[in-house]
Amino acid sequence: MQDGATQHTSNQRTSLSLMTQLTMDKAYIAILSFAFLFLLHYILGKVSNGRRSKGAVQLPPSPQAIPFLGHLHLLEKPFHAALCRLAERLGPVFSLRLGSRRAVVVSSAECARECFTEHDVIFADRPQFPSQLLVSFDGIALSTSSYGPHWRNLRRVAAVQLLSAHRVACMSGVIGGEVRAMARRLFRAAAASPGGDGAARVQLKRRLFELSLSVLMETIAQTKGTRSEADADTDMSVEAQEFKKVVDEIIPHIGAANLWDYLPVLRWFDVFGVRNKILAAVSRRDAFMLRLIDAERRRVDGGAEGDKKSMIAVLLTLQKTEPEVYTDTMIMALCANLFGAGTETTSTTTEWAMSLLLNHPAALKKAQAEIDAAVGTSRLVTADDVPRLAYLQCIVSETLRLYPAAPLLLPHQSSADCKVGGYNVPSGTMLMVNAYAIHRDPAAWERPLEFVPERFEDGKAEGRFMIPFGMGRRRCPGETLALRTIGMVLATLVQCFDWERVDGAEVDMTESGGLTIPKAVPLEAVCRPRTAMRDVLQSL
């Protein structure tokens, strides 16, 4: 018995010893790999510096790099703000080495124009990040695919079939319906407020995300979010909660400042489990998309398309004539791209607009007075009214100037050698255009950090350079839909409700980081139905 126990203990010790040895071996491999990469970087850096000293190329100025990491240690969050500080020191064009990647950052209107006009074709490509390949069906999505025949076909389909001016105009009814539903839920939330004063404290981001998703669900797949009768007035449908969770899990792992994309060693060992986190979120997103596509396919096959085809129905029709092009994967990638781009950016921009108005109550009152004069208080504002609301349009423009939804746009990549701002940019260099810095350039804008919608009145800002939706061939094709949705939502919120800051405290305008520019602290505000609009709201 004792001999058996002793043998068992010995075996356990041997197993533990082997496990410890394996762990130590992995650690040694990691250390040796790091040392090898460090040495390789040092040698290549010496060679590169030697070539530069001989005048082989005139690269843009660059801050001091450190071995292996390059300039990754400078990537403080939010990344766009960190790049603004570097531009103040290095100039409007400077270069970075982000781990294994070369990058050029442009922070002036003049150089951005040069990139997207003179060199538009050269910079029409996208860098292929490992994280984005996982999210974008191995790079075939519209926003991430390489420039070429596949991208041109996707762009044509998006611009002509899905997001044309005519099709977006036809979406006005859908947008209006979802805006009315949001106004109704806010009105009921205020009526049911515990204080009995007819005011409700609401977190707007959740409601705005729900609205953006609902508009897309109805236009892309002819379906609505589901709520039980008990939850009819909640701020988010089941689908919105599901998709927002997916977005919140994916966004932190993609974008220009994601270390996982620049350091192969992090991907080899993946000590933080980034790959598994991305794949888990993508799996849930794909299941969400497949449910929509399968439901729409059943409707199309059953002949129940109706007069207005959904975007998926259009793609399924194209699939019948060109099945090798419009595969299920391609359709899913395109729809996922539209959902991903259209929900977070639209809701975030509207949240920033409301935050700015709450901190500038005079501008809020001015917008409200304009709507009362142009529309009145006997009906809700419509999509046809919005273009006539000049001051509201100024508010939207000023919001996009201060808080562009994608502050660094999406990264581009050079497909050939070229010059930007007089500096050489080698082929294969990643280009980051800091729209955030360009929009706040004191040489172009008076009081650039202040919220002044009046700067856009009467065409005073005409010709001023702004690129909240990008520029050139890869400009965002969803711009028209985004602006129409933001205008309708903002006009309705201002027309129907009086808004107050919580406890009178200034709204926190701290920015967070990522591919977009979300608020670090989600906006909460006190919503009170306007007396003049109460009859209209009760009839919704």
- Annotation: binding site for heme: 476
Element (H, E) at 431: strand 430-433
Beta bridge partners of residue 96, listed in sequence order: 103
Beta bridge partners of residue 101, listed in sequence order: 98
Preceding amide of 453 cis, omega within 30: no
Q: With CA atoms as reference, report the closest residue to 267 among 129, 92, 369.
A: 129
Q: What is the DSSP letter of 162?
A: I
Identify whether the C-beta of residue 389 lies closer than 8 Å to the C-beta of residue 379.
no
Identify whether the C-beta of residue 205 lies closer than 8 Å to the C-beta of residue 522.
yes
Residue corresponding to tokens 């270069």: 95
Q: Which pair of structure tokens corresponds to residue 485? A: 């949705």
- Residues that constitute the known binding site: 476
Distance CA 209, CA 509 (A): 19
Give strand ranges (E) for 182-304. 200-203
Q: Are β-strands 430-433 and 101-106 bridged in parallel, bridged antiparallel, or unpaired?
A: parallel
Identify whether the C-beta of residue 467 lies closer than 8 Å to the C-beta of residue 111.
no
Identify whether the C-beta of residue 189 lies closer than 8 Å to the C-beta of residue 181.
no
Distance CA 280, CA 285 (A): 9
* 396: CB partners within 8 A, 6+ apart: 353, 483, 486, 487, 490
Distance CA 287, CA 454 (A): 46
Q: With CA atoms as reference, report the closest residue to 414 among 172, 147, 145.
A: 147
Instruction: Show the 3-state SS of 96-122.
Output: EEECCEEEEEECCHHHHHHHHHHCCCC
Q: How far is CA 383 from the centre of its chain?
A: 24
Residue corresponding to tokens 């991430």: 144
Q: Which pair of structure tokens corresponds to residue 141? A: 């999505």
Q: Which pair of structure tokens corresponds to residue 59? A: 């690269």
Distance CA 470, CA 433 (A): 9
- Which sign, positive or negative, has the C-alpha torsion 20, 22, 23, 25? positive
Q: Which pair of structure tokens corresponds to residue 423? A: 């500096």
Distance CA 473, CA 471 (A): 7
- Helices of type H across 222-273: 238-250, 264-269
Element (H, E) at 419: strand 418-420
In a 3-state reduction of DSSP, which class is residue 413? strand
